[in-house]
Structure 1
Amino acid sequence: MDEQPETKNNKLIKIAVVGPESSGKSTITEGLAKHFGSLWVPEYARFYCENLEGECTFQDEENMFFGQIALEEAISSVVTNNLLFCDTVFLTVKVWSEHQFGKAPQPVIQEIPKRTYDFFLLLKNDLPWQDDPLRNFKGMGDYFFNVWKNELESINANYAEVGGLEDRLSNAINTVELFLNK
């Protein structure tokens, strides 16, 4: 493990890892947390959807929003080095809901200006597709990459695109280090 990064004014720095399905978000987020000696927030939707009986509904999307927020807040409360990595964020509910239902739950829209992240890593759609029973959008990686890019730009997010096959984690680590050292 590398030396602990200096954080900005000792405030919690939240770094979100987002992007299309099968872009390595969970692997990268866990790898970043390990490298920086910090904690990470897993994707609540994965836990939720593993127990769904039937298709995901609009209400399920709203439930996942509240679950993601609660999980992030719980883990944030025990971070000791002021650095938290998030394997996706509640904005995912907005992205999927708008795609599947044509609208996002109102609590998600209301939370966008209130809940900010210091930095986003937008993972490129350059990995081979990995089948998973919880993935629904094979062949739509470029589309969702662009949706995420537009979403991040619409909220004026500080973000960087990260890609690479063999060097994806090292590219992500270098990008985070550049951000932390600004």
Structure 2
Amino acid sequence: MRRGLVVGKFAPFHRGHQYLLEAAAAHCDELHVWVYSNPDPKSMPAPVRARWIELIYAQPQGPAIGRTPLRVRSFLPELDNLPPNSAPDYAHREFVRQQLLDSGISIDVVFTSEAYGPGFAEHLGAEHVLVDAKRLRVPISGTQVRADVYGLANWLHPVVQAHFTSPEYVQRAVLLGAESTGKSTLAAALGRQYGTSWVPEYGRTLWEAQQGQLAYPDLLRIAHRHRELEDEALAKARHWLFVDTNAVTTLFYSYAYYGRAETELHALAQECRTRYQHTFVCAPDFPFEQDGTRAPAAAQGFHQAAVLMQLGMLNIPYTLLTGSLEERLRQVSAVLEVDQDSKL
């Protein structure tokens, strides 16, 4: 039996990687694919990347691997004592060699598309096969895809594409605050700035549709429908989904208008603790605008205090946004860019 080995980050797994694996499978009886990176991208950890490969080649309508069994294995930095990506080549070669020894696996041939391939294979006592090193067959790289994962989505298999529109990857940022604190304007501006979707406040949509007449059962209906709209918007979102208001505010209005709230609405407000990656609170630091649909200006301060109290009771951290629209956009960007840098 002739056993082959391919080792890579596969972050993300793209058409070039597929070409490498399929070329390797054509030359061996069993192919081992090892997936690791240190640091590991938190939005697509090694087990997720390995699962993509397994799913792609398990699908009957998927690309052919032939009859070659595919053995996919993932490693995690915190569990497997991985050398960092910046470590010398020798450290990575020795890590793989030791893992093969510990696993009792004998490799005959190593497949790569990189210059390090011959030395790596020699360290393992295996033959080396170089596959499309100049990227002529499939002109794409992981660096390019990471820089524009949505613009270059055609270089990704649908299994991988689906990950980048999933809740595991697209993260939600919610805007809270009293009436006339600029939430809707800011949500729309953030959507434009980040080229992504944003979700308006469904409570206002329903209020307008019912000509200002809301009944007690409508509050729970608002909370559920708002969440549904968020989930629907994920399919068109890129990196971030911006949300105007959530169940925390709906819970406030239930008590403000009716003096009570459904247990289920309380549960939905509790889920806001983990549903949103970031919570931003818009400060009431510019003149109140009465558009004929809002509560009196005197109620704004009470509502703002209630929002902050709810966040404190639910133990939800938040960032307070102040100043002009441009200043608030910069404040949000400063927070989000820290996360974005660590996602890929």
What code does the residue aligned with 1:123 have?
C
Q: Compute the TM-score of the two structures, normalised by the length of structure 2.
A: 0.47
Instruction: Measure the CA separation in 2 of the matches of 1:173 and 1:128.
Output: 24
2:307 aligned to which of 148, 158, 167: 148
Q: Hey, what does 2:245 align to over in structure 1?
A: 88
What code does the residue aligned with 1:100 have?
Y
1:9 aligned to which of 43, 51, 54: 43
CA offset at residue 18 of structure 1?
A: 0.5
Q: Hey, what does 1:68 align to over in structure 2?
A: 226
Q: Hey, what does 1:129 align to over in structure 2?
A: 288
Q: Hey, what does 2:323 align to over in structure 1?
A: 164
Identity, in percent, stands at 23
The alpha-carbon distance between structure 1 residues 17 and 8, as it changes in their structure 2 partners (threshold 3 A), is farther
CA-based RMSD of the aligned residues comes to 2.2
Q: Which of the pair has more CA radius of gyration?
A: 2
Contact 1:119 1:157 in 2 (8 A): no
Matched, 1:103 2:264: no
SS at match of 1:23: coil
Q: Hey, what does 1:3 align to over in structure 2?
A: none
Contact 2:279 2:319 in 1 (8 A): yes
Q: Compute the TM-score of the two structures, normalised by the length of structure 1.
A: 0.84
- Bigger RCO of structures 1 and 2 (CA < 8 A, at least 6 apart): 1
Greater Cα shift, 166-175 or 96-105: 166-175
SS at match of 2:279: strand
Matched, 1:50 2:213: no
Dislocated runs of 4+, deviation >4 Å: 178-182
CA offset at residue 31 of structure 1?
A: 1.0
Instruction: Measure the CA separation in 1 of the matches of 2:282 and 2:42.
Output: 24
2:198 aligned to which of 40, 64, 86: 40
Instruction: Measure the CA separation in 2 of the matches of 1:176 and 1:134.
Output: 33
Contact 1:46 1:134 in 2 (8 A): no
What code does the residue aligned with 1:119 have?
H
Matched, 1:18 2:208: no
The alpha-carbon distance between structure 1 residues 110 and 172, as it changes in their structure 2 partners (threshold 3 A), is same
The alpha-carbon distance between structure 1 residues 164 and 111, as it changes in their structure 2 partners (threshold 3 A), is same
